[in-house]
């Protein structure tokens, strides 16, 4: 029976080529947008390099002070992380790093833009970078304030050219010479807590780490638990510590800072009353709904037009005993075949677009792919699209009166 439905569906698609083209274009275009978006989200938050201990980690990247009509928020201070977070009992390590900052350097009169980040020693233990050569900055080098650095493979190529090894050589950043001790695999720029072109000891920073005793600054942290089972206790301990902090100013009455899993921290607002995850899910849901709604309505209208054109066929089939249920089932299957064809075109278009986006490197080091997760979501979208756009027209078809359907011919 399915074979017959398939043959009928292909015959119907060939009968009105223009309508078929419009339907396939709407389906494939919609699916392409959603698959590219899904691939971007997957590449941004689902890859575990370099934070392969994500199941044991909680991320600290926001703190907000509110009260008396005032609100101020941002990254955490180095003081808060070193004097409070590192004294928590549950974490076995606390990775600390600054936000990436930009500077320029010059090689053979060529300007190169460089992002740099300051780190503590635990940063290299908590995160697991892939070293292409050399090693991480050692605790001793950080304690001594040595001018050493770990650089990305892209910066190695751009600054040093095709040299096989650059460990021991010097790179200039912000008018300071740093000795390279290691080269790591690139980190996507979207992973802002880990991304940088060069990594430096926090002890060589020219910032206000030593003098800023406030709670807000330019740093972020990662708490590492002994095991995944200890993560809830670590979260509670951090938030209890935040609740006990004395106010930094009489202008504020409340401090918000959450220790969150990776995905939640990625969109964190730093305010537990305004969940960034809630906003993000709502925004993505609304966007997806709007993207799917217009093509679905368009396909519904086209399907209804096709039904009216096939009224005599429907009338004849009903006259010979075909039930409404059988006709509805047939039409939904036909519509699913149409959406799967459109989905196949969408997958091909998505692959082509992702290839050019990756090649253009619009976002540094971000490699988007059509992996199994993205393909599964694409298939799910196709099925939902096909059912939504086929149910109402199929119901309309099942309601056609035999006599009226035959007269329409």
Using one digit for the tens of pLDDT, what is the confidence trace for 41-54? 777 777 788 999 99
pLDDT band at 158 (very low <50, low <70, confident <90, very high): very high
Closest CA to 149 of 202, 96, 103: 202
Is residue 91 scored above 90 in pLDDT?
yes
Which of the two residues, 56 and 275, has the higher pLDDT score? Answer: 56
59: enclosing H helix or E strand: strand 57-60
- Residue 316 burial (CB < 10 Å; 0-12/13-18/19+)? middle
pLDDT above 70 as % of the chain: 75
Q: 356: burial class by Cβ within 10 Å (0-12, 13-18, 19+)?
A: exposed
Average pLDDT estimate for 67-71: 77
The C-alpha angle with vertex 396 and arms to 392 and 398, in degrees rounded to 5, equals: 115
Interior/surface letters 213-229, b for 16+ CB within 10 angstroms, e for the rest:
eebbbbbbbbbbbeeee
Q: For residue 147, what are its two tokens?
A: 């001018």
User: Using 50, 70 and 90 to split pLDDT, how confident is the model at 147?
Assistant: very high
How many helical (H) and strand (E) elements, i.e. helices and strands, does the chain have? 13, 13
H/E element, 116: strand 110-119
Alpha carbons 400 and 285: distance in angstroms, whole number: 36
Q: Which of 177-181, 294-298, 363-367, 373-377 has the highest mean pLDDT?
A: 177-181
Q: How many CB atoms lie within 10 A of CB 80?
A: 27
Specify the range with the lowest mean pLDDT, choosing from 287-296, 358-367, 373-382: 287-296
pTM above 0.95, yes or no: no
Q: pLDDT of 326-350, one tens digit each?
A: 777 777 777 777 778 888 888 888 8
The more confident residue out of 337 and 241 is: 241
What are the backbone dihedrals phi and psi of residue 238, each rounded to the nearest 5 degrees, phi first? -65, -45
Instruction: Write the CB contacts of 193 (distance below 8 Å, at least 6 apart in sequence).
Output: 59, 61, 97, 220, 222, 265
pLDDT band at 196 (very low <50, low <70, confident <90, very high): very high
| pLDDT confidence of residue 54 | 93
For residue 233, the model assigns a pLDDT of: 96
In the predicted model, is pLDDT for residue 11 greater than 60? yes
Least confident of 209-213, 220-224, 356-360, 397-401: 397-401
Bigger pLDDT: 234 vs 268: 234
Residue 13 sits at the vertex; the CA angle it makes with 11 and 18, to the nearest 5 degrees, is: 140
Could you give the 3-state DSSP secondary structure of residue 104? strand
């Amino acid at each position: 029976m399915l074979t017959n439905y398939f043959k009928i569906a292909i015959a119907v698609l060939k009968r009105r080529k223009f309508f078929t083209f419009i339907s396939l274009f709407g389906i494939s275009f919609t699916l392409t947008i959603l698959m590219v978006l899904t691939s971007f989200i997957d590449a941004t938050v689902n890859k575990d390099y370099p934070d392969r201990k994500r199941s044991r980690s909680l991320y600290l990247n926001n703190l907000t002070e509110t009260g008396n009509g005032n609100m101020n928020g941002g990254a955490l201070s180095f003081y808060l992380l070193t004097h409070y977070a590192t004294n928590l009992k549950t974490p076995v390590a606390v990775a600390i790093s600054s936000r990436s900052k930009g500077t320029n350097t010059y090689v053979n009169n060529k300007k190169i833009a460089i992002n740099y980040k300051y780190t503590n020693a635990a940063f290299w233990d908590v995160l697991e970078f892939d070293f292409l050569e050399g090693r991480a900055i050692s605790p001793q080098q950080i304690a001594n304030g040595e001018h050493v650095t770990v650089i990305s493979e892209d910066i190695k190529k751009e600054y040093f050219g095709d040299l096989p090894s650059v460990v021991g050589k010097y790179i200039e950043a912000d008018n300071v010479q740093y000795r390279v001790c290691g080269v790591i695999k690139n980190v996507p720029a979207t992973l802002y807590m880990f991304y940088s072109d060069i990594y430096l000891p926090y002890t060589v920073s020219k910032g206000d780490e030593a003098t800023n005793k406030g709670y807000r600054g330019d740093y972020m942290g990662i708490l590492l638990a002994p095991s995944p089972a200890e993560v809830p206790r670590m979260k509670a301990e951090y938030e209890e510590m935040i609740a006990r902090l004395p106010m930094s100013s009489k202008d504020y009455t409340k401090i918000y800072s959450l220790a969150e899993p990776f995905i939640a921290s990625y969109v964190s607002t730093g305010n537990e009353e305004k969940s960034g995850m809630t906003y993000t899910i709502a925004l993505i849901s609304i966007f997806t709904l709007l993207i799917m709604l217009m093509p679905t309505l368009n396909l519904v209208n086209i399907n209804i037009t096709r039904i009216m054109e096939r009224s005599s066929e429907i009338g004849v089939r009903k006259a010979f005993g075909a039930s409404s249920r059988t006709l509805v089932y047939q039409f939904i299957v036909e519509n699913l075949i149409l959406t799967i064809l459109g989905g196949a075109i969408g997958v091909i278009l998505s692959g082509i677009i992702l290839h050019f986006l990756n090649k253009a490197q619009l976002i540094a080091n971000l490699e988007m792919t059509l992996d199994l997760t993205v393909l599964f979501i694409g298939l799910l979208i196709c099925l939902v699209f096909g059912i939504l756009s086929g149910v109402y027209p199929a119901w309309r078809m099942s309601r056609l009166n035999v006599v009226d359907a035959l007269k329409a011919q």
